[in-house]
Structure 1
Amino acid sequence: MNKKLKMGVGIGGSSIIMIIVVLSLTTLSVLSLMTANSDWKLTKRTVQAVTDYYNADNQAEEILASADTNLKNGHPLETNSFEIFVSEKQNLVMKLETEGSSYSVISRKLVPSSQWEYEQYQIQFDDVITY
C-alpha cells in the first residue's frame, strides 16, 4: 500500500525542449545577422550617395565663386545654367539669373540623368478573354 507513483518529465522531455530552444535561438540569430548585413549594405550606399551629393555641391559652390569673381571684374557669364555630375543616375542642375555685377540662384535641384522608358514597362493585354 505504500507504493508511490512517480510521474516526471524524464530525460527525453527536457532534451526535446532544449533542442527546440536551441533551434529557436539559432534561427533568431541568423535572422538578426541577415538584418544587420542588409543594414550595413544600406548604410554604405547611403554614405556613397551623400558623399557624391556633397562633392557636387562643392563644385556648384566653386562655380558660384567663379561667377561672382567674373561678374565683379565685369565679365559676363557664358551660360546661366550649369549641370554637375552627381552619380550615374542623378545630376545637380543650377540656374542663375544675372543683374549687372550680381547674380541670384533661381533653382538648384537634383534631376535624373536619364528619362523613364514608358514603352518598356507597358502591360500588354493581348491575352484578354471575352465571353
Structure 2
Amino acid sequence: MADEQVKEKSTRRTYRDESWTEEQVKARRAELTREEVPEGYVKVSEVDAACRAAGIPVSKLVRAFGGDRGMSAPAHPLFAFVYVGRTRYLPGKVLTEGLEMLASPEFLKTVRKRKPKAKAAEGTGPVKKAQKKTKV
C-alpha cells in the first residue's frame, strides 16, 4: 500500500463535548490530579462495587461525578473526585451518604419538557370519518 493511500490518524481525541480542545482537557486533568491519595478517599472501583450491590446503576454514579473523565461539574460536592496517576478516588463518605443520594429516585432526575403542540394550519388535520346512516 502506498503512503499516499494511508489515511493519517487524527491526533485529536474525540469527546462528547466537541467544544473542548486538547489543551483544555489536559488543563482539566491537571486540575484534578494529586500526588498522593487524600486521607479518607476510596477508589472509584470500590464505590462501583457498592453501587452494583445496592442495585444502583453505575451510569448514575458516573453522571454524579461529572462524567467519565470529570469534564462536567459534579452533581454534588461529595462526588468531586481526584486522580492519582491513572486511578480516580472519591471521598469515603460516598460509600454512605453518596449511596443514599444515588438510591434516591429524585437525585439526578432530569425534568422532561414536552414539545409544544404544533398549530394546525387551516384546512389541514385529520379527515372526518363518514357517519353511518341510521335506519328509520
TM-score range, shorter chain: under 0.3
Which is higher, the Rg of structure 1 or of structure 2? 1
Q: Which has the higher helix share?
A: 1
TM-score of the two chains, using structure 1 as the length reference: 0.23
Q: With structure 2 as the length reference, what TM-score do the two structures score?
A: 0.22
More strand by share: 1
By relative contact order (CA 8 Å, sep 6+), the higher-ranking structure is 2
